[in-house]
Chain A
Amino acid sequence: MSLEYSASEMMSVTAARALENGSTCFVGIGLPSEAANLARLTHAPDVVLIYESGTLQTKPNVLPLSIGDGELAETALTTVGVPEMFRYWLQGGKIDVGFLGTAQIDKYCNLNTTLIGDYREPKVRLPGGGGAPEIATNAGEVFITLRHSRRAFVKNVDFVTTLGFGRDGKGRDNVPNIGKGPTRVITDLCVMKPDPDTKELVVVSLHPGVTREEVMDATGWEVRFAERLESTPEPSENELTILRELKARTEQAHAGA
């Protein structure tokens, strides 16, 4: 194989492949939305995409800039109110996968989108929780995708906006009516999964050309690697073409008006 592709493209294609055809996915804006729509346009035409703005089973032709772009409502099977979206569809247990991004993530997969620093004297104020706290606990399982860096992958998040497995890895133990939580983290370097027992994130697959050292350098804790470390399959020409066309359409659409 000698296809040319970027680390970002590798991340999006790998994240897209994680979604099974026919599953229902509650989609976060940004990288998750890119991956989920790529899945829909390639191997998973019957994946059901749901955005928190109330758009049910939507098939946007271009990626939305905001979670409530008109494109999402125009291409949806139907659009419901936001209370119904969270109460019936998410809390009601109709969602297989919650697909999230984050600003910070720690070794137990807790997510911080609230702030850097101390809560009362923040160094950097981030947007906040949005739908994530309940998506992460009410969806059947959670996929997370973000770029790999030491700023993002920290030993302890500054604030647990959204539960992964808690600060001790036991945050979901004995909690009734809670989803499995994060089952994979897809970055531009690798794929990580929580250890079945300790829930600590472990690198299970390196993207082609990426070394262990690169992942260690970009991770804020002494990251573990699976005994049988795999190599992530490369993107296909078809996936790259469809991803590039999707992004070009999107860029064109957002430049206007």
Chain B
Amino acid sequence: MAEFLSLHDAVARYVEDGATVAMEGFTHLIPFAAGHEVIRQQKRDLTLIRMTPDIIYDQLIGAGCARKVIFSWGGNPGVGSLHRLRDAVEKGWPHKVEILEHSHAAMACAFEAGAAGLPLAVFRGYIGSELPSVNDQIKFIECPFTGERLAAVPSVRPDVSIIHAQRADRQGNVLVEGIVGVQKEAVLAAKHSIVTVEEVVDDLDAHPNACVIPGWAISAVAVAEKGALPSYTHGYYGRSNRFYKEWDAIARDRDTFTQWLDENVYRTQESAQ
């Protein structure tokens, strides 16, 4: 049964230094408020997993939280580079970050395999790509039935997964609507999970086939209004495309970034998001 905690307490309890953390949300429902709380609590040496690191991991990397990043597409969508990720990889600022990169298909399958309790994911992928030559977590196996050569990657099993969703009911059951990405898989694959929500309601009012994650499969639920901004929450508010564009200039320069972080993360409380 999910416990209702403040975002501060949920992060303090479940995100330990050195942990493997997946903050998911495929462009939609990116858990920014939770990411900022991780930065404020100055968590260190995290292995950060996300298909698309997006601005959220750019901020965590720039803030010095990451030791390693596992991802499949590390850009600012529609805008360009993630400058903090690049600065860490190319110049080692604020410190060197190890990267392990996959394709989307591989990571999606790895999350699914994690949720399914399997040690690996098998799929038809990486044919002719040079990614296997730089990522030792990509192997090939032979299908025992047909002999076909297939790609295999280890499943994703985070210590903690963090997602954002539209709402929870008072039992902590969570409804995720719109682009659902790999959020359900991320929660089910992890040892612990934190779900931030826009609001808590009496009745989820969900369709029979809606994406509902039962409260008993979640560790903690925390209310974080507008907790996905500058990404969006379907049915609540839109994506701030303007901020994604502005981020390019903010993140390009170390001083501008540091100042932004001071003003917008360190000096704010979680409720002021």
Q: Is A247 an interface residue (CB 8 A)?
A: no
Considering the complex, give the chain B residue whose CB is closest to the CB of A172: B128
**Residues 239-257 (chain B) with a chain A CB within 8 angstroms:** 239-242, 244-245
Q: Is B71 an interface residue (CB 8 A)?
A: yes
| Contact (A66, B102) CB under 8 Å given A54-B179, A73-B178, A128-B71 | no
**Is the Cβ of B78 less than 8 Å from the Cβ of A131?**
no
Band of interface residues on B:
35 or more
Q: Is A257 an interface residue (CB 8 A)?
A: yes
Q: B215 to chain A: closest CB distance in Å?
A: 20
Q: Is B37 an interface residue (CB 8 A)?
A: no
Q: A86 to chain B: closest CB distance in Å?
A: 4
| Contact (A125, B90) CB under 8 Å given A52-B104, A131-B104, A257-B240 | yes
Q: B113 to chain A: closest CB distance in Å?
A: 9
> Quick check: which of B7-15, B118-126, B167-175 contacts chain A, the rest being far away?
B118-126
Q: Once the chains are docked, how many angstroms separate the CA of A256 from the CA of B245?
A: 11
Q: Is A102 an interface residue (CB 8 A)?
A: no
> Quick check: which of A158-166, A192-200, A236-244 contacts chain B, the rest being far away?
A158-166
**Is the Cβ of A83 less than 8 Å from the Cβ of B112?**
yes
A82, A130, A137, A254: the one contacting B241 at CB < 8 Å is A254
Q: Is A65 an interface residue (CB 8 A)?
A: yes
Q: A246 to chain B: closest CB distance in Å?
A: 15
Q: Once the chains are docked, how many angstroms separate the CA of A100 from the CA of B206?
A: 36
Q: A68 to chain B: closest CB distance in Å?
A: 3
**Is the Cβ of B130 less than 8 Å from the Cβ of A134?**
no
- List of A residues within 8 angstroms of B181 by Cβ: 53-54, 68, 81-82
Q: Once the chains are docked, how many angstroms separate the CA of A53 from the CA of B111?
A: 15
**Is the Cβ of A130 less than 8 Å from the Cβ of B129?**
no
Q: Is B182 an interface residue (CB 8 A)?
A: yes
Q: Once the chains are docked, how many angstroms separate the CA of A80 from the CA of B28?
A: 13
- List of A residues within 8 angstroms of B51 by Cβ: 82
**Is the Cβ of A86 less than 8 Å from the Cβ of B108?**
yes
Q: Once the chains are docked, how many angstroms separate the CA of A200 from the CA of B212?
A: 50
Q: Is B27 an interface residue (CB 8 A)?
A: yes
**Is the Cβ of B128 less than 8 Å from the Cβ of A166?**
yes
| Contact (A53, B28) CB under 8 Å given A160-B129, A176-B148, A257-B240 | yes
**Is the Cβ of B239 less than 8 Å from the Cβ of A70?**
yes
Q: Once the chains are docked, how many angstroms separate the CA of A85 from the CA of B244?
A: 26
**Residues 54-92 (chain B) with a chain A CB within 8 angstroms:** 71-75, 77-79, 81-82, 85-86, 89-90
Q: Once the chains are docked, how many angstroms separate the CA of A5 from the CA of B15?
A: 55
Q: Is A69 an interface residue (CB 8 A)?
A: yes
- List of B residues within 8 angstroms of A87 by Cβ: 105, 108-109, 112, 123
- List of B residues within 8 angstroms of A122 by Cβ: 89-90
**Is the Cβ of B108 less than 8 Å from the Cβ of A137?**
no
Q: Once the chains are docked, how many angstroms separate the CA of A122 from the CA of B92?
A: 12
B125, B126, B178, B242: the one contacting A70 at CB < 8 Å is B178
Number of A-B contacts defined by CB within 8 Å: 187
- List of B residues within 8 angstroms of A83 by Cβ: 108-109, 111-112, 182, 185
- List of B residues within 8 angstroms of A68 by Cβ: 26-28, 77, 179, 181
A55, A131, A163: the one contacting B179 at CB < 8 Å is A55
- List of B residues within 8 angstroms of A110 by Cβ: 128
Q: Is B180 an interface residue (CB 8 A)?
A: yes
Q: A80 to chain B: closest CB distance in Å?
A: 8
- List of B residues within 8 angstroms of A127 by Cβ: 73-75, 81-82
- List of A residues within 8 angstroms of B112 by Cβ: 83, 87
A64, A81, A129: the one contacting B104 at CB < 8 Å is A129
Q: Is A149 an interface residue (CB 8 A)?
A: no
- List of B residues within 8 angstroms of A233 by Cβ: none
| Contact (A86, B26) CB under 8 Å given A81-B180, A133-B126 | no
**Residues 177-200 (chain B) with a chain A CB within 8 angstroms:** 178-182, 184-185
Q: Once the chains are docked, how many angstroms separate the CA of A74 from the CA of B237?
A: 13
**Is the Cβ of B179 less than 8 Å from the Cβ of A53?**
yes
- 8 interchain residue pairs of minimum CB distance: A68-B27, A163-B128, A127-B75, A66-B77, A65-B78, A130-B73, A134-B105, A86-B105
Chosen A-B contacts, 13 in total, with CB atoms closer than 8 Å, are: A68-B28, A68-B77, A69-B27, A86-B123, A87-B112, A125-B86, A125-B90, A128-B74, A129-B129, A130-B72, A131-B104, A137-B128, A160-B130
